[in-house]
Amino acid sequence: MTRYGRLRAYFAGSVATALLGAASFVSSSPATAAPCTGPGAPATTQTKCLTAVTIPGNPLRSFDISWVNPQRAEYYLGDRSNAGIDIVDTQHLKFKRTIGGFVGIKLKTDGTVNNDISGPDGVTSHGRWLYAGDGDSTLKVIDLDSAASPIKQSISTGGTTRLDEMALTTDGNLLLAANNAEDPPFATLFAANGDRATSNVSKIIKITIDLTIVPKAGLSIEQPAWDPTTKRFYTSIPIIANNPPGCNFDGAAGPITCHGGVLVTDPHNPKAVEGAFDPATHTGVVKLAACGPNGATVGVDDELMLGCTPRNNPSDTQTTIFSARTTQSVSVNGVTGSDEVFFNAGDRRYYLGASANPAGAVLGVVDAETKFFIESVPQSTGSHSVATDSERNLIFVPQVAPKAVVGAGGDTTTVGAGICGGNSGCIGVYKHNVEDDDDQGDR
């Protein structure tokens, strides 16, 4: 189908939605009621609620980033509530197992979750190897083909707070992971396992940002993404100083008025301290306009969707698409407040875990080619994590259990319970059928 044809279909709301029958997908831990009801399952959206997968054990109160390996047909979630990585079979939509050995939820004195020291956190994978950050600043290296003792290495980054979000090169040989809560925040470049059968992960270099750019604790380093064309990692920086000049980056001194940036890292020529962007080396920190990003994902034409959020800067109420090649960016209206964002190559769409969207948490959908906002689907409070299976065009969005069940941090709406069909939280599964599958080759 031509781009014009797709645009016409979007505006007419006529994208085909011939869904697979929900009855053919059975969770291994059935909910107490039928899933996919209420505001989180609207009949008018192109992105349809298909079913829910419940997780055995503790109700979901706190989780972090998720990931899908379509070749293995597996979804992975950093589940702090059960102190492990949950694995869901994306072919049959069944819970498979939880790999434990993480610190789990750690609470503040007021009873709320302390994200800075809880774990697991960020997660990514290549082949049989799963990499996950923990709340004690360690990288856990997991062999997914190992039933017994799957954690093969636990490597400290030298910090005292969580190892958070991370990204791998296409061949799985290099891993960049961020310690977002340190003072100052830093990233660690690792030599990873690639396709090897045994684990031998090691640290290469610790990377910090010049203190004139990130001058204060709490300004953070967030989600990296790998672009195979420019051969660079692109990491979201929520707030940087002097962007624009004279802006306020200190929340204790008043509302934040500084925007964020993107750190560009050459893993083959890494620097211990990164400064301002240098076009000659295509490395350093690029300033962004009207965006304080958390999430990052690479889509079409070496473009990145950046998960901008007003939680970093109250005036940043749009979403940004950033060119890895030119470092230019454009804004997308219609959704903001994102944490994790995920590109789905199967339908050429970005999916956004917009938990801080001003009107309430939503799953945002943006067309990667046209850069148009398509729609948003209501989600449970704090629903900030999203991952997609590009082989099956499935979208996985974890839902927290109600506040009445888990306390502070729980869902304060009825949306999550409707998606899940129960009060323990779940992984909500959404489906977008690609229109005119026979025409995919001309995209």
pLDDT digits (tens, 9 = 90+) for 207-220: 999 999 998 766 89
Q: What's residue 181's pLDDT? A: 94
Is the Cβ–Cβ distance between 225 and 265 less than 8 Å?
Answer: no
**52-66, 183-197, 332-346, 423-437, range with the lowest pLDDT:** 423-437
Residues 119-134 pLDDT 10s: 999 999 999 999 999 9
Q: Return d(Cα 260, Cα 288) in angstroms, integer.
A: 6
What are the residues facing 76 on neighbouring strands? 67, 87
- Pairing assessment for the beta strands 293-298 and 284-287 based on DSSP bridges: unpaired
Q: What share of the chain in percent tops pLDDT 70? A: 90
Confidence (pLDDT) at 11: 41
Distance CA 118, CA 267 (A): 28
Pairing relationship of beta strands 319-323 and 303-308 according to DSSP bridges:
antiparallel
Q: State yes or no: pLDDT of 7 exceeds 50.
A: no
- Whether the pLDDT of residue 161 is over 90: the answer is yes
- The sheet that has 273-274: what strands, in order across it? 166-168, 174-179, 186-191, 202-209, 273-274
Residues 6+ apart with CB under 8 A from 231: 266, 267, 268
What CATH class is the domain 28-292+388-434? mainly beta
At residue 32, the pLDDT reads 56
The pLDDT confidence band at residue 30, using thresholds 50, 70 and 90, is: very low
Query: What is the structure's pLDDT at 325?
Result: 97
**By CB neighbour count within 10 A (0-12 exposed, 13-18 middle, 19+ buried), where does 96 fall?**
middle
In the predicted structure, residue 48 carries a pLDDT above the cut 60: yes
Kindly state the average pLDDT of the residues 252-258: 93
d(CA 200, CA 426): 34
Residue 435 confidence (pLDDT): 59
* 98 vs 82: CA distance, rounded Å: 8
Tell me what pLDDT residue 84 has.
98
- Return the exposure string of 187-203: e unless at least 16 CB atoms fall within 10 Å of the residue's CB, then b: bbbbebbeeeeebebee
Please answer whether residues 140 and 154 qualify as being in contact, where contact means their C-beta atoms are separated by less than 8 angstroms: yes
Whole-number pLDDT of residue 433 = 82
Check residue 26 and give its pLDDT.
35
pLDDT band at 107 (very low <50, low <70, confident <90, very high): very high
* Mean pLDDT of the 18-35 span: 47
Q: What is the pTM of this model?
A: 0.91
Average pLDDT, the chain: 91
Give the C-alpha separation, 295 to 209, whole Å: 18
Which range has the worst mean pLDDT, 35-39, 51-55, 212-216, 261-265? Answer: 212-216
**CA atoms within a 13 Å half-sphere pointing along the CA-CB vector of 296:** 33
Checking if the pLDDT of 99 tops 70, the result is yes
Helices and strands, number each (H, E), in the chain: 3, 29
pLDDT digits (tens, 9 = 90+) for 290-329: 999 999 999 999 999 999 999 999 999 999 999 999 999 9
Residue 224 Rama label (left phi>0; alpha psi -120 to 50; beta)? beta
